[in-house]
Amino acid sequence: MSYSTLSMAPGFTARRICWSLLILGFVFLFAVQRQIDDEMGVYAKISDVLYIPAGTNLRRLSLGNEGLLADIYWTRVVQYFGRSHMENAGGRFDLLAPLLRITTDLDPQLIIAYRFGGVFLMEPPPIGAGQPEAALQLIRRGIVANPDYWRLWEDLGFVYYWDLKDYKTAAKIFKVGSERPGADFWMKSLAGTVAAKGGDIQTSRLLWSEIYRHADTDAIRRTAEVHLTLLDALEQMKKLDSLLALYRSKEGHQAQSFYDLYASGFLRGLPRDPTGVPYVIGPNGQAQLGQGSNLKILLAQ
Cα–Cα distance measured from residue 1 to residue 137, given in angstroms and rounded to the nearest whole number: 56
What pLDDT score does 226 carry? 85
**Residue 100: per-residue pLDDT:** 87
Neighbours of 114 (CB within 10 A): 28
CA atoms within 13 A on the CB side of 34: 6
Residues of the chain with pLDDT under 70: 1-71, 77, 79-92, 216, 297-301
- What confidence score (pLDDT) does residue 301 get? 59
3-state DSSP percent of the chain in helix, strand and coil, to 5: 70, 0, 30
Residues 6+ apart with CB under 8 A from 264: 247, 251
Q: How far apart are CA 161 and CA 168, in angstroms?
A: 9
Contact criterion met (CB below 8 Å) for 300 and 124: yes
Q: How far, in Å, CA of 188 to CA of 171, rounded?
A: 9
DSSP output for 174-226? HHHHHTSTT--THHHHHHHHHHHH-S-HHHHHHHHHHHHHT-SSHHHHHHHHH
Q: What is the pLDDT of residue 31?
A: 45
The contacts of residue 99 (CB under 8 Å, 6+ apart) are 46, 49, 73, 76, 77, 80
Radius of gyration of the chain (CA): 26
Q: What is the 3-state secondary structure (H, E, C) of 246-295?
A: HHHHHHCCCCCCHHHHHHCCCCCCCCECCCCCECEECCCCCEECCCCCCC
Residues whose CB is less than 8 angstroms from the CB of residue 299 and which lie 6 or more positions away in sequence, other chains included: 230, 233, 234, 289
